[in-house]
Amino acid sequence: MTVESLLHRAQEQRPLPHGGIILAATPLGNPLDASIRLLDALASADIIAAEDTRRTRALADALGVMITGTVVSNFDHNESDRAGHFVAEAQAGKRILVVTDAGMPAVSDPGFPLVVAARAAGVPVTCLPGPSAVPTALALSGVGMGHFTFLGFAPRKDGARREFFSNLLTATTATCFFESPHRLQATLDIAVEILGARRPVAVARELTKRFEEVRSGSAAEVAEWAHAKEVKGEICVVIGAVDPEELGVDSADVVGEVEGLVAGGMRLKAAAGEIAKRHNLSKREVYEAVLHAREDSE
């Protein structure tokens, strides 16, 4: 069955609502990942609320789709103000298509305020499923997951990022988040410091694109890789769960091991780092635990 015949079938069936909001996943990079229903929606929507109007038009051109509706910008800084307008247009019988630059709207991308406004107004909302960076990165990561947690973008400020990773010290599920290539090295360095050098980590970049790359290994290995090259593109990071055998071990439990290395001639910071690595603990917390123990013994 050809693409043309599938598109014809989609247009015949066309369950897409008039007088409603349609969230549609767009390709992460390769235009051929677009669904037949997305092609239909791009061609038939009365209004397309696009994160970047130029990229949406470029996608339509790459797919050979002629947009007949109005393309309106809908991005982080104006989407709350425009939600009411789109809801009113839907109430007037218009078909509103919501797309982002890549992936699923409302998942760390524009779309959520409009969904909330539409639900409150009783306007129908539906979704055309498709590409999403999170499950794609998880599937390629090689990091055991079972259950997983998605945390959006990592915090930008150093203190907030440290708290971010401190909350993952005892995480029993894999954790996935987005990061900027400009901050990746610093973020991975903090992950090593707080989570330990051995915690499983994967970095997936440019998913489905020409230069797709997935680097996985220990936190220390992946951080070293990030420092050795200029990492570019859109990035998704996966942090593995803590080893269940290590959940019962905290920094205070390993003070004796650190002091044993110090007694053998190793400097305190180096000893704290060695034992922290051995137990997948935070070097900083192990070091501070030793200092507290020494103070208590005086």
User: How far is 203 from 198, CA to CA, in rounded Å?
Assistant: 15
3-class secondary structure, 141: helix
Across the beta sheet with 213-218, what order do the strands follow?
Answer: 148-153, 174-179, 235-239, 200-205, 213-218
What is the four-CA torsion angle of 139, 143, 149, 155, rounded to 10 degrees? -110
Tokens for 66, please give them. 């002629």
CB-based contact 96:69 (threshold 8 Å): no
Nearest by Cα to 103 from 10, 34, 202, 48: 34
Are 242 and 165 within 8 A, CB to CB? no
Q: Is 144 exposed, middle or buried (0-12, 13-18, 19+ CB in 10 A)?
A: exposed
For range 146-173, the mean pLDDT: 90
Give tens-digit pLDDT for 111-151: 999 999 999 999 999 999 999 999 999 999 988 766 899 99
What pLDDT does residue 200 have? 94
Alpha-carbon distance of 38 to 32, in angstroms, equals 11
Q: What SS3 class is residue 199?
A: coil
Nearest to 251 by CA among 298, 189, 188, 193: 193
- Which is it for the CA torsion 197, 198, 199, 205, positive or negative? positive
**pLDDT greater than 80 at residue 12:** no
44: Cβ–Cβ under 8 A, 6 or more apart, which residues? 11, 14, 16, 68, 69, 95
pLDDT at 74 over 90: yes
pLDDT for 183 beyond 90:
yes
pLDDT band for position 248 (cuts 50, 70, 90): low
Which range is least confidently modeled, 66-80, 198-212, 247-261? 247-261
pLDDT in tens, 212-246: 999 999 999 999 999 998 899 999 999 999 876 66
First to last CA, the chain: 81
Share of the chain above pLDDT 70, in %: 92
Quote the Cα angle for 171-239-209, to 5°.
Answer: 150
Closest CA to 290 of 266, 265, 262, 249: 262
Average pLDDT over residues 64-85: 95
pTM: 0.76
Which pLDDT band, with edges at 50, 70 and 90, does 10 fall under?
low
pLDDT bin (cut points 50, 70, 90) of residue 48 is very high
- Mean pLDDT over each residue of the chain, to the nearest integer: 90
- Burial class of 229 by CB neighbour count within 10 A (0 to 12, 13 to 18, 19+): exposed
